[in-house]
């Protein structure tokens, strides 16, 4: 089942059918530990509906914080070691890749998040910007993973590479995060073969494309959640981006007007423009 948020209501996609949900507030709905069972048992009282149109769909976020894990794929470790080498910070990425404790950082508050078909931003003081396509967990206040969405962890590689202590500036700014298009509601883990695909189009032409699979994700989602929830409470639950396994070549930087498409087949495609 997939769950979509719009300005007026929420919608449930079950197979080929769509239903309009009740007036439960989004924060209340997505904080439920029994989200799958609740939606399944509610379908009979929901009205069948047309699918929400792409311009009606909002980011699937209410008042949750968005956190992110880093250096969870070998490709990310490699790229970061290279970009931070001359600043003497390369070693930290190697160490965190191998350590028991993951890198976790606060990525965004809701007002910094955009939804499908909205514009993500590149920083005006950055010269080297990339999207990071990441499987994103929906986690309830009790720490249960109840769903998955797609996240784009927009990043300024030159700022982070200059000094790893600049990470919050490289990662957290207005419209630095995109989420959507829906939540795949499922308490079951996604298969290790699940593909993540990134495509960047410039003037309608493919400028970069790359893929990875969850098999290359070094850490278990449940272990990331375990660390995130240690001595840390999330009254409305939270979203956790699980890291990138796709990094465009070093010569690539995003430009205004680029279109970023991130596909994770069981969830869908998140499309954003840069502007
Ligand atoms: O260490 C910096 C951030 C890493 C990150 O965002 C990622 O690996 O996806
Ligand atoms: Mg990332």
What's the CA gap between 118 and 196, in Å, rounded? 20
The per-residue pLDDT for range 198-255, each reduced to its tens digit, is 999 999 999 999 999 999 999 999 999 999 999 999 999 999 999 999 999 999 999 9
Tell how far the Cα of 40 is from the centroid of ligand 2, in angstroms. 33
Tell me, using a 6 A CB cutoff, whether residue 132 lines ligand 1.
Answer: yes
Contact status, residue 128 vs residue 246, Cβ threshold 8 Å? no
H/E stretch holding 92 reads helix 90-98
Q: Residues within 5 Å of ion ligand 2 by Cβ?
A: 132, 153, 244
Which pLDDT score, from 0 to 100, does residue 275 have?
97
Q: What are phi and psi of 213, to 5 degrees?
A: -130, 165
Tell me, using a 6 A CB cutoff, whether residue 76 lines ligand 1.
Answer: yes
Q: Among 114, 144, 145, 142, which Cα is nearest to 262's?
A: 114
- b/e burial code for range 125-158 (CB count within 10 A of at least 16 → b): ebebbbbbbbbbbbbbbebbbbbbbbbbbbbbbb
**Ligand 1 atom 2, closest CA:** 70
Structure tokens at 203: 């003037």
The per-residue pLDDT for range 86-130, each reduced to its tens digit, is 887 778 898 999 999 999 999 999 999 999 999 999 999 999 999
Q: Which residues have a Cβ under 8 Å from the Cβ of 262 and sit 6 or more positions away?
A: 131, 133, 150, 152, 196, 197, 198, 199, 269, 270
What mean pLDDT is predicted for residues 21-37? 97
Share of the chain above pLDDT 70, in %: 100
What mean pLDDT is predicted for residues 56-64? 98
Which pLDDT score, from 0 to 100, does residue 85 have?
81
Q: Count of CB atoms within 10 A of residue 78's CB?
A: 16
The per-residue pLDDT for range 121-168, each reduced to its tens digit, is 999 999 999 999 999 999 999 999 999 999 999 999 999 999 999 999
pLDDT band of 82, cuts 50, 70, 90: confident
H/E stretch holding 108 reads strand 103-108
Which pLDDT score, from 0 to 100, does residue 91 have?
87
Ligand 1 atom at minimal distance to the Cα of residue 93: 1
- Asked if residue 16 has pLDDT above 80, the reply is yes
Tell me, using a 6 A CB cutoff, whether residue 90 lines ligand 1.
Answer: no
Contact status, residue 206 vs residue 197, Cβ threshold 8 Å? no
């Amino acid at each position: 089942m997939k769950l979509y948020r719009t300005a007026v209501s929420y919608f449930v996609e079950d197979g080929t059918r769509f239903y309009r949900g009740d007036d439960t507030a989004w924060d209340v709905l997505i904080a439920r530990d029994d989200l799958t069972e609740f939606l399944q048992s509610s379908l009979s009282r929901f009205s069948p509906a047309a699918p929400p149109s792409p311009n009606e769909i909002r980011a699937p976020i209410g008042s949750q914080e968005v956190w992110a894990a880093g250096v969870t794929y070998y490709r990310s470790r490699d790229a970061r070691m290279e970009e931070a080498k001359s600043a003497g910070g390369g070693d930290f990425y190697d160490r965190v890749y191998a350590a028991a404790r993951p890198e976790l950082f606060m990525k965004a508050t809701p007002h910094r998040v955009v939804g499908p078909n909205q514009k993500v931003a590149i920083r005006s003081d950055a010269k080297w910007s990339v999207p990071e396509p990441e499987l994103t967990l929906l986690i309830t206040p009790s720490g249960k993973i109840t769903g998955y969405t797609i996240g784009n962890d927009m990043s300024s590689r030159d700022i982070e590479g200059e000094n790893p202590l600049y990470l919050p500036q490289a990662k957290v700014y207005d419209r630095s995060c995109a989420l959507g298009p829906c939540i795949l509601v499922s308490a079951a883990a996604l298969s290790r073969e699940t593909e993540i695909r990134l495509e960047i189009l410039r003037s309608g032409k493919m400028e970069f494309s790359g893929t990875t699979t969850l098999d290359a994700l070094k850490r278990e989602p449940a272990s990331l959640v375990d660390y995130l929830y240690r001595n840390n409470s999330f009254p409305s639950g939270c979203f956790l981006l699980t890291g990138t396994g796709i990094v465009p070549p070093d010569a690539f930087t995003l430009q205004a007007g680029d279109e970023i498409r991130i596909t994770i087949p069981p969830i869908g495609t998140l499309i954003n423009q840069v502007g």
